[in-house]
């Protein structure tokens, strides 16, 4: 399956969930400013539900992001094996023909190459970001729902 398409689909779902969460947080903020307990509690419950939905969408997008880059790494490994395998056999056979008693001289050469500094690599990212982006909506929800709300007090109940 196309991992990039999966990530883009998950990112789009996350964006919608974040928009819904921001809307719910805006309604909660408006209810708190109005100091109306009849509106605050339902708005908080809806904001909490929207937070859970956004967290679930974020986890799905995060896993899709990892899956995309894991597939890229596996493809690079396959290319490396295809490119290097014939040369490993060649180096080993030539050393054997030269009278070397080493069982796998190519392995020592590869270990020597790997031990040294490698050139920097910057992956080509089409539509998938290199780092999974943080969610400002989830950070806002943490501040406005989960953390204590200093300065806001539950109004007295109307009797």
Residue 60 CA to residue 9 CA, distance in Å, equals 10
**Inter-CA distances, 91 with 10, 96, 100, 101, 123, Å:** 46, 9, 11, 13, 30
Predicted confidence at residue 117, as pLDDT, reads 86
Percent of the chain with pLDDT over 70: 90
Using 50, 70 and 90 to split pLDDT, how confident is the model at 27?
very high
Domain layout of the chain by residue ranges: 3-146
pTM score: 0.74
């Amino acid at each position: 399956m196309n991992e990039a398409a999966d990530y883009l689909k998950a990112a789009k779902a996350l964006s919608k969930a974040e928009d819904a969460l921001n809307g719910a947080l805006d309604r909660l903020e408006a209810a708190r400013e109005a100091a109306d307990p009849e509106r605050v509690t339902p708005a908080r419950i809806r904001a909490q539900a929207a937070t859970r939905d956004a967290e679930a969408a974020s986890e799905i997008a995060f896993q899709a992001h990892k899956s995309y880059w894991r597939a890229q790494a596996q493809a690079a490994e396959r290319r490396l094996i295809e490119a290097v395998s014939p040369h490993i056999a060649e180096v080993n056979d030539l050393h054997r023909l030269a009278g070397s008693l080493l069982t796998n001289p190519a392995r020592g050469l590869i270990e020597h190459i790997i031990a040294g500094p490698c050139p920097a690599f910057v992956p080509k990212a089409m539509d998938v970001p290199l780092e999974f982006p943080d969610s400002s909506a989830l950070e806002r929800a943490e501040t406005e729902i989960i953390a204590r709300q200093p300065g806001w007090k539950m109004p007295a109940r109307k009797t």
